[in-house]
Structure 1
């Protein structure tokens, strides 16, 4: 089965004003997107060498203001920023336990839907998951580009990428949408896009001194824009594999096979490797 891309259902189409046969990007317009918001999205997927403006089909200028954005046509030169392949996270290793504990203690609800974890008092978190904003699988990228410079609350275990400032408690289904860039938060205005579009995060979340770092949420939002708007759209990866499925074949013969295999191996095998190493250590200590 060919992979699904993200272009289906888009109702805003972005063109070069000098070459309207070439689509630069598209968008599924949802509630809450203003003209100013849309300008900021376009600036993520297109690099302009000078000031620019957006115009609709009638060649009328779209002002950069807070009016609701309407479908239109657009403009000029661009450069694509790399998009980091990301699939549903399965990481359950012991090094993220302190991360999960800190996220649960701070949020005690899905911070996007607002639904409370009613079983939290008896340590029952069924249906709620601690989600990394910047994925754990890209920890080398995190270190290389010094993303930890924004972290002020450091965990004793797990490194800065496992700081409470790099995570949120989410409903399990919303976590999947967040990981696949089908949902994101524009932290410039603290509004949610795509699923639950137009919903603002609550004041309890915004007032919390331990809340996620603005710069990391902005990074995730940029990734979501790149994944969902540019070109024909990045692929959507299958993650629900019934028993007996050819997972490896799906990855190897699908799009972005190398990047996806690296991400999946990290998420699916890292926990098993840690268990094996732990057992080996225990045996060595017992033998010694």
Structure 2
């Protein structure tokens, strides 16, 4: 079955006021998204050269305030022409990175967090070294380390990994301890954390955990080893592009029963080359450097 895009279930739709029949993108509205958040998302999705504002179907201007965003159609009214942000999305699936290269990363994240930092669920067996159901997740995916190096994302890291030969991408500052099911949602950009809105958790698809609109707790934010804002911001920007631009990026299957034609599924689906490389890296531990299909400028942080 071909992967679905992310437009299913959207109840917020975005248009150019000068072309009110062409949908530019949209959103599955979750708890906690306010009008000001929506304006910030517009500034990620589009490149504006002048002032703009949003209005609803009744031609009422939407203020950039803390009122909850409502379902409906929204029209961008801009002083000057604007473009859709063409920054490539880094194709990503559920991460399964293992091996000695990530062991020190995993151990550092476990030692720091000892709970899912999104849900707050404690690892009750931590003192006995039982970590079932919890994963150390990379914010910026390990599979794209070549891109990380080329764009010097390591400049944000102030705490190198215990073994510097493992690369700055394996710093504890690029990690979160997550409940395993929440890890899948994080890797698929089903939700993200917005560091520019007091670390609000923002869901982009139905939130079965009732976490959207909540914030990371203060004890985590006070930890000197916590992830750096630049990486959380990068993940949030990717989540907005993946879920809201156009019809959204494909949602790939990850649960393949024994005997499934995984290769066939990948090769006959969208983004086949990128997904195949990521599958090889995450499933086989292959040392494959991944890059976006198109050139990409560094993300402004």
TM-score scaled by length of structure 2:
0.88
1:77 aligns with 2:82: yes
Q: How does 1:256-275 map to 2 (within 5 A)?
A: 256-270=271-285
Q: For structure 1, which runs of at least 5 residues remain unmatched after alignment?
A: 274-288
More helix by share: 1
The answer as to whether partners of 2:140 and 2:174 remain within 8 angstroms in 1 is yes
Aligned length: 273
Aligned twin of 1:130: 136
**How far is 1:246 from its partner?**
0.3
Residue 43 of structure 1 corresponds to which residue in structure 2?
A: 43
Question: Could you say which residue in structure 2 is the equivalent of 1:192?
Answer: 201
Residue of structure 1 in register with 2:218 after alignment: 203
**Is the 1:111–1:205 contact (alpha carbons within 8 Å) kept by the matching residues of 2?**
yes
User: CA 1:261 to 1:271, structure 2 compared with 1: closer, same or farther past 3 Å?
Assistant: closer
Q: Mean Cα displacement is larger for which, 74-83 or 10-19? A: 74-83
**Superposed structure 1 runs of 4+ greater than 6 Å apart:** none
**Is 1:163 matched with 2:152?**
no
What CA distance in whole angstroms lies between the structure 1 residues aligned with 2:66 and 2:155?
Answer: 32
Preserved CA contact (<8 Å) 2:280 2:286: no
Residues 1-288 of structure 1 aligned to structure 2 (within 5 Å): 1-71=1-71, 72-75=73-76, 77-79=82-84, 80-157=86-163, 158-188=166-196, 189-194=198-203, 195=207, 196-270=211-285
SS at match of 1:74: strand
Cα shift at 1:199:
1.2
Q: 1-side partners of 2:93 and 2:236: how far apart?
A: 16
Displacement, 1:77? 2.1
Task: Tell me: CA distance 1:144–1:65, structure 2 relative to 1, closer, same or farther (3 Å).
Answer: same
Does 18-27 or 75-84 show the bigger shift?
75-84
- The two structures have a TM-score, normalised by structure 1, of 0.92
SS of the residue 1:105 aligns to: helix
Larger Rg: 1
Q: Which runs of 5+ in 2 are unaligned?
A: 289-301
- Between the aligned partners of 2:250 and 2:276, the Cα distance in structure 1 is 14
Distance 1:192 1:139 in 2: 26
Query: 1:237-279 CA distances to partner (integer Å, 9 max, x unpaired)?
Result: 0000000000000000001101111111111122699xxxxxx
TM-superposed deviation, 1:81: 1.6
Q: CA RMSD in A?
A: 1.3
CA distance in 2, matches of 1:200, 1:240: 30
Residue 64 (structure 1) shift: 1.0
Kept in 1, the 8 Å contact 2:281–2:287? The answer is: no
